[in-house]
Amino acid sequence: MGKKTHRSGRDSKTGQFITVKEAERRPSTTTIERVPNPGYGDTKDDPPKGGKPK
């Protein structure tokens, strides 16, 4: 089973994603986040897979 998230850097001023390496070099203006891989994020609007829609 694979990991469900990955690390990603984000610029605190612009909100744009940047590399983790760049975020580690600029800790005062960036954050490192855990971001869900495709298919593992918040899917409240979608019916659950394999379940009956409400």
Task: Count other C-beta atoms under 10 Å from residue 9's C-beta.
Answer: 20
The partner residues of 35 in beta bridges, in order of sequence, read 6
pTM beyond 0.85: no
**What pLDDT sits at residue 2?**
77
Give me the number of domains the chain comprises: 1
In a domain? residue 47: no
13 pLDDT band (50/70/90 cuts)? Answer: very high
In a domain? residue 16: yes
In a domain? residue 12: yes
For residue 23, the enclosing domain spans 5-36
In a domain? residue 24: yes
What torsion do the CA atoms of 20, 23, 27, 31 make, to the nearest 10 degrees?
-80
pLDDT tens profile 14-51:
999 999 999 999 999 999 999 999 888 876 666 666 65
**What pLDDT sits at residue 42?**
77
In a domain? residue 20: yes
